[in-house]
Amino acid sequence: MIRKSYSLRLRHGYDFGDIKALANLHLVNKWDHAFIVYENDSMVRVFLESLPDHKTVVIDRVPTVENLAKAAFDILKDVYQDRFGRHLALTKVTLYETPNCWAEVDG
């Protein structure tokens, strides 16, 4: 199971529900229960495309926990910047692969 945590620096009185909803829309709902595959791994992609109703996410890097944490940070940083401007800054993403294995990306 992959767990994630986010560190945010928040100014003004934004509702955390709005922040969470954006994370769910742009990241969690897309990646949750999906097979994440590297775009150049053509054999795996062909196989996954042959499976009916299979949720696959294709990304531009090998899906290690370190690369997924960086991708998550990049996605959320842009989403939050577009919505909140200077009023909210994403400062860190921690992505857990297991309780003893994780990757952190600082902004």
Above 70 in pLDDT, residue 56? yes
Above 80 in pLDDT, residue 6? no
pLDDT at 41: 98
pLDDT at 1: 44
Looking at the chain, which runs of residues are DSSP E strands?
3-10, 35-38, 56-59, 88-98, 101-106
pLDDT at 9: 57
Which CATH superfamily, name and number, covers 3-106? 6-pyruvoyl tetrahydropterin synthase/QueD (3.30.479.10)
If you search the block for the tokens 């199971």, which residue do you land on?
Answer: 1
CB 3 within 8 A of CB 96: yes
Predicted TM-score (pTM) of this structure: 0.83
pLDDT at 86: 85
Q: Which amino acid is at 99?
A: P
Kindly state the tokens that stand for 67. 């690369």
Q: Which residue has the higher pLDDT, 82 or 17?
A: 82
Residue 34's pLDDT band, with cuts at 50, 70 and 90, is very high
CA distance 10 to 78: 15
Percent of the chain with pLDDT over 90: 76
Beta pairing partners, 98:
101
Kindly state the tokens that stand for 44. 């795996």
Beta pairing partners, 96:
3, 102
